[in-house]
Amino acid sequence: MTGETEEIAELSFEDALRALETIVRQLESGDVPLEDSISLYEKGEKLRQHCQKRLDAAQARIERIVAGPDGAAAGTQPFDAAER
């Protein structure tokens, strides 16, 4: 892993999203030179992938909510728990 990739992996979802939004604003402004735009786009893609990974993990955890006999949530199981 590169240093930048490791730094991104340590970001919370919210921090990564803020960084991604900043990059999008910079790219949309049109004031960034081409080479810098390419670098920003690459970093933005890494941030997007990180955010998507976090969202996917959260969705998987949500889907693991265990329903009781009445249909109400009776508890949760960790995302990586073995099927019961």
Per-residue pLDDT of the chain (84 residues; tens, 9 = 90+): 578 888 999 999 999 999 999 999 999 999 999 999 999 999 999 999 999 999 999 888 777 776 666 767 666 666 555 554
Asked if residue 79 lies in contact with residue 61, where contact means CB atoms within 8 angstroms, the answer is yes
C-alpha 4/C-alpha 57 separation (Å) is: 22
The dihedral built from the CA positions of residue 49, 47, 7 and 78, taken in this order, carries a sign that is negative
Query: Quick one: which H or E segment has residue 26?
Result: helix 13-29
What is the end-to-end Cα distance of the chain in Å, rounded? 36
Q: pTM for this structure?
A: 0.72
Fold that domain 3-76 belongs to in CATH: Helix Hairpins (1.10.287)
